[in-house]
Structure 1
Amino acid sequence: MLRERRLYRARAAEALRALALLDVNDAPPTGPAPSWNAGWSLDELRCTVAREPPGAPVPGGAWEIACRLVHDYQFAEPRILRALYRRGDALPGRDMLLEGRFLGLRFDMGVRVTSLVDGTQGSGAAARRVWGWGYQTLEGHLEEGELTYLVVKHLGSGEVEFRITGRSRRAPIANPLVRLGFVMFGRSTQHRFLRAAAQRLCRLVHAELHGAPAARVETVPGDPGVAVAPARHLLTPAPHLSSRWRRGRSSRGSRA
């Protein structure tokens, strides 16, 4: 329980504020695509969340619910990651303090939202309404890279889809034990997180569609401007839901 409460303490809020002084540690790969020779791993996951009638998103429907949950980072798998962020910050530029969780250990890692997608893409039968955002890792993170979350409605079919794409590689890690653990378990944990995040989003969307109260944003006691995500009332295991998983490769085995 003490570890579960650490994100609610003043020290965590101070660490979140300190992220503003850090730069992105992600050196984008040169050329048209990341190079396997540089140790980059690529990932892509697509999961059908629900279906709406064809056409524009339904007010209060699956697409809008999913967008809100993604905006608030409520879909994250709490057994692997939780986060702090300032509620009043606009998405582009929003700093997030991620708390990585592995074998009872806790690792604080900073990221910054650097991209926002909001609009209709394609035309005719291929038209789709897309909303989402992406972040890049900051100095001190265990990885270098970028992760993007998109909620897509295919306007012709009504299918609402959640997409996660990312590229990553291990950042320099001074601690030899942490470095060894990351080499051995980093990629598998990363894959578990992405699959579980898609499953949780599907579960939360369907719960609201069937009458559950909208997931509320939880804030740090005494500091309503700082959100903790996912909220404690959402810290329940997600049941298995099918998703289409495309696993990226790395030029250095299981290392990200």
Structure 2
Amino acid sequence: MLELGAEAPGEPEPDGVFRTAQALVNHYEFSDPAILRAAFRHPADLVGRDMLLEARFLVLRFLMGVRITAEHDEIRTGPDGPERVIGWSYETLRGHLEQGRLTYELAKSLETGRVRFRIEAYSRRAPIPNPILRLGFRLFGRRTQLRFYRQAQARLNRLLQSPPGPPRPGPDGLVRAPSGVEPGRFESFTLRIAHPGA
């Protein structure tokens, strides 16, 4: 869990830390492009959004699909009393290196105004037929996951100081996240297979 800053107590301020961070999280800006990049169709509802993730490890690239299956917006009891919690969860699709669910949430304490970002993950290694990839994932998978979580939190904190503008889709209607990343080497080919009408 990472503390991002504070606002006045009460519900989130329209242009405060919480709402600014919400836009960054919804657009997947927090992802470290050296580890993980994403492409998704725009405009589209958050729930039901399919994202193609490109995991990067040394010279290797792994394309993996996920689908956002839930959006959260509620008041819960937190460590400082009631807090407004917003966020979303995605589940891995067939062909991913893992089977599981990841949740990204922002929480604002309604009493103290403190704003926090947290990531919750539940996963297990998916069946990987290739023995070399299976060994590589066993050796480096967890370490890379933890590095991604640390980098995501640090990057979100930095982006709050100078947030990018709203995402702009390319001519193909795809948003690439985080902002400024180029298409992956095989991304357009893979998206045409997944979406023949593209």
Query: TM-score, normalization: structure 1?
Result: 0.68
Q: What corresponds to 2:43 in structure 1?
A: 88
SS in 2 for 1:146: strand
Q: What corresponds to 1:179 in structure 2?
A: 134
Query: Which sections of structure 2, spanning at least 5 residues, go unmatched?
Result: 182-198
Query: Which sections of structure 1, spanning at least 5 residues, go unmatched?
Result: 1-45, 209-213, 234-256
Q: 1:231 aligned to 2:179?
A: yes
The correspondence for 1:67, drawn from 19, 22, 42, is 22
Q: Is the 8 A contact 1:151 1:162 kept in 2?
A: yes
Q: Quote the RMSD (CA, aligned, Å).
A: 1.5
In the aligned structure 1, how far is the partner of 2:28 from the partner of 2:12?
21
Q: What corresponds to 1:116 in structure 2?
A: 71
Question: What is the CA distance between 1:135 and its match in structure 2?
Answer: 0.4
Q: What corresponds to 1:136 in structure 2?
A: 91
In the aligned structure 1, how far is the partner of 2:14 from the partner of 2:166?
18
Question: What is the CA distance between 1:144 and its match in structure 2?
Answer: 0.6
The correspondence for 1:219, drawn from 158, 169, 173, is 169
Deviations, residues 167-222 of structure 1 (Å, cap 9, x unaligned): 111000011111111010000000000010011111111224xxxxx4331423x2
- The alignment covers a number of residue pairs equal to 180
- Return the structure number with greater strand share: 2
SS in 1 for 2:23: helix
The correspondence for 2:162, drawn from 203, 207, 222, is 207
Spell out structure 1 runs of 4+ moving beyond 4 A: none
Identity percentage of aligned residues: 49
In the aligned structure 2, how far is the partner of 1:129 from the partner of 1:173?
40
